[in-house]
Amino acid sequence: MKNITLSADEQLIDQARRIAQSQHKTLNQAFREWLESYARPSNALEQYEALKKELKYVRAGRKFTREEMNER
Q: Report the run of H or E that residue 39 belongs to, with start and end.
A: helix 27-39
Q: Which of residues 9 and 72 earns the better pLDDT score?
A: 9
pLDDT for the residue 40: 79
pLDDT digits (tens, 9 = 90+) for 1-52: 899 999 999 999 999 999 999 999 999 999 999 898 888 777 888 888 888 9
Angstrom distance (rounded) from CA 66 to CA 20: 43
Predicted pLDDT of residue 72: 73
pLDDT of res. 60: 78
Query: CA dist 4 to 1, 7, 41, 47, Å?
Result: 10, 10, 22, 29
Q: Is the CB of residue 33 less than 8 Å from the CB of residue 39?
A: no
